[in-house]
Amino acid sequence: MRFFGLIWHIPITKSVMTKVLVPFDFSEQAQNALDFTTLLSDKFENVEIIVLHVIEVPSSSGMGTMGGGELMPQMENQIFFIELLDRRKRQFKELESKYAGNSFALSTKIVIGNAFQNISSFIIDEDPDLVVMGSTGSDGIEEVLIGSNTEKVVRTSHCPVVTVKASTNPEKIKKIVFANDFREGQDELADRIKNLQKWFDADLYLVIINTPGSFETTRESAARIKLFANTYQIDHAVAEIYNSNSEEAGIVEFAEDIDADLIAMATHGRTGLIHLFTGSIAEDVVNHTKRPVWTFKIK
């Protein structure tokens, strides 16, 4: 373990963040994401929270809401659809009333169609500063065959995404694991990581996962982390080299070992056949850890 300066807490001043998107399917995980966002808004000025609900309409078999929402019968049952739409509108009016009078502005929006496509289009059109999503995660064959809207958004969003599974208070995030290879050319990512650390006034752990397939000496890894920290003037951080069978497992295990509060990492946003054959470490971590995960797609 090597230290870059001393670990100490940075005095927090409110930053500017204008817009946060929270995709919402009325599940427990979605409410956890919204609660996290409303608490996080205390750290910023002029926050606008947009709660987006998508009523999904599959092409043939039936209808259902995003994620773990209610299943609906065939399209022919128009009455059921109208009742669901009216109920969602009432629920959103109640939600808006519940959060009225806070320091942030909260608005709601209901759209009909494919969940991922509508969330992606909203991100492109509205350009939020942050997306906060709930996730249940999945394992085994379900993970391979189904995946999740959250994982797709993590892979493709041009703005940072925070994935929340359990009830999480941002004020209690004091240990952030930043897993990376710490090679050159990551200016924007480094700036965002520094801001992330400042938001939470947290200790930052810079970690390289050493695997049998990409082994390098501790000296090589430590030198690269130190160069990264010096280049981007990252202070009060700890450098770690962690051995594991895979990068995904190593990130999750290291976070568990130090009882981290948040995992931060980049994703390359691979799609199509490249994604099918190579997968995504960020998506795997989001899927398998119980901790909140901050991700940012690098160019």
Q: What is the pLDDT of residues 153-192, one digit of tens each?
A: 988 899 999 999 999 999 999 999 999 999 888 999 999 9
Give the count of beta carbons closer than 10 Å to the beta carbon of residue 227: 13
Count structural domains, the chain: 2
Q: Which 3 state secondary structure label does DSSP give 176?
A: strand
Do 158 and 174 share a structural domain?
Answer: no
Give the count of beta carbons closer than 10 Å to the beta carbon of residue 133: 28
Do 235 and 112 share a structural domain?
Answer: no
Tens digit of pLDDT for each residue in 202-249? 999 999 999 998 889 999 999 999 999 999 998 779 999 999 999 999
Q: Pairing between strand 48-56 and 19-23? A: parallel
Of 164, 199, 233, the one marking the end of a domain is 164
Q: What is the pLDDT of residue 275?
A: 38
Q: What is the pLDDT of residue 16?
A: 56
Do 49 and 34 share a structural domain?
Answer: yes
Cβ–Cβ < 8 Å for 290, 260: no
Whole-number Å distance between alpha carbons of 136 and 195: 27
What are the angstrom distances between the C-alpha of 80 and each of 70, 73, 92, 94, 192? 11, 8, 18, 21, 45
Q: What is the pLDDT of residue 137?
A: 56
Do 152 and 208 share a structural domain?
Answer: no
Of 128, 146, 164, the one marking the end of a domain is 164
Cβ–Cβ < 8 Å for 165, 132: no
CA angle 149, 153, 158 (to 5 degrees): 170
Tens digit of pLDDT for each residue in 108-151? 999 998 889 999 999 999 999 999 999 875 544 333 333 478 88
Do 203 and 145 share a structural domain?
Answer: no
Q: Hey, what are 68's tokens?
A: 């773990």
CA 147 to chain centre: 15
Do 69 and 115 share a structural domain?
Answer: yes
Do 270 and 185 share a structural domain?
Answer: yes
Tens digit of pLDDT for each residue in 21-71? 999 999 999 999 999 999 999 888 889 999 999 987 654 444 444 444 555
Question: What CATH number is associated with residue 86?
Answer: 3.40.50.620
Do 124 and 210 share a structural domain?
Answer: no
Q: What is the pLDDT of residue 6?
A: 35
Cβ–Cβ < 8 Å for 34, 22: yes
Do 130 and 58 share a structural domain?
Answer: yes
Of 137, 164, 191, the one marking the end of a domain is 164
Range of the domain at 260: 2-12+170-297
Residue 299 has pLDDT above 80, yes or no: no
Q: Which of 50, 39, 49 has the alpha carbon at shortest distance from 200?
A: 39
Do 194 and 150 share a structural domain?
Answer: no
